[in-house]
Amino acid sequence: MREQFMDNHSATVLIIAHRLATVIDADRILVMSDGTGVEYDHPFNLLAEDPKDECITNDGGHFAKMI
Which structural domain range is residue 21 located in?
2-66
- C-beta separation of 21 from 15 below 8 A: no
Whole-number pLDDT of residue 6: 67
What are the tens digits of pLDDT across the range 20-66? 888 888 889 999 999 999 999 999 999 998 888 888 898 889 998 88
More confident residue, 50 or 9: 50
Nearest in space to 46 (alpha carbons), one of 32, 57, 36, 35: 57
Using the predicted structure, report yes or no on whether residue 11 has a pLDDT greater than 80: no
Whole-number pLDDT of residue 31: 94
Structural domain count of the chain: 1
More confident residue, 5 or 44: 44
